[in-house]
Amino acid sequence: GAGVSQTPSNKVTEKGKYVELRCDPISGHTALYWYRQSLGQGPEFLIYFQGTGAADDSGLPNDRFFAVRPEGSVSTLKIQRTERGDSAVYLCASSFRDRTDTQYFGPGTRLTVL
Amino acid sequence: AQKITQTQPGMFVQEKEAVTLDCTYDTSDPSYGLFWYKQPSSGEMIFLIYQGSYDQQNATEGRYSLNFQKARKSANLVISASQLGDSAMYFCAMRDNAGKSTFGDGTTLTVKP
């Protein structure tokens, strides 16, 4: 079956612009996660959805970052007023039920803020 | 706070030999899970193996095994019979009691022909 997909694969934007990153989880997976991976580092947790609701958003760095999952499937990570420090690979993962299940990752979106 | 330490930024191994990638963790939770992921240059994180803190036996998945030493808080990954396709970045991760996952900074493995 299809794995986690993310679009776009690459996004280049200018400082101050708004961007949206999309994640399509594995079909039937209830839990969805966003991570940010900076060069040379491991993924850093941003937010966890259980169904449509954000069960844990403690990893979002500030209020410029927001994520939604309105129908409990596809999720969109939204970044307002982008800064150069936001440049990173944004990874999405999903798991079958909740955080006790193994997470399966998508290929990531590489965001570059000029 | 949970912490994962991978002390080997880079490792080299000869094809067909075994290699051990080190991982130590720090937690006060009695219940946790340990994972290893592989990240090739394509960027996708591929799940390799899982070990629960209460599991009595070390986890194995094909050529991958996890050397779990609970008292030492280590969860080293052993790859047997290395293949050229094993060249990648490898991440150790821990899931705490609340379900939050923390990743180490990774080890780059290069398999030499």
Q: What are the chain B neighbours of A106 within 8 Å (beta carbons)?
A: 44
The mean per-residue pLDDT over the stretch B43-70 comes to 94
B4: left (phi over 0), alpha (psi -120 to 50) or beta: beta
The mean per-residue pLDDT over the stretch A85-110 comes to 93
Rounded-to-integer distance, Cα B46 and Cα B62, Å: 15
Q: At residue A1, does pLDDT exceed 70?
A: no
The mean per-residue pLDDT over the stretch A23-34 comes to 96
Interface of A with B in 32-91 (CB under 8 A): 33, 40-45, 48, 56, 58, 89, 91
Q: At residue B1, does pLDDT exceed 80?
A: no
pLDDT at B46: 94
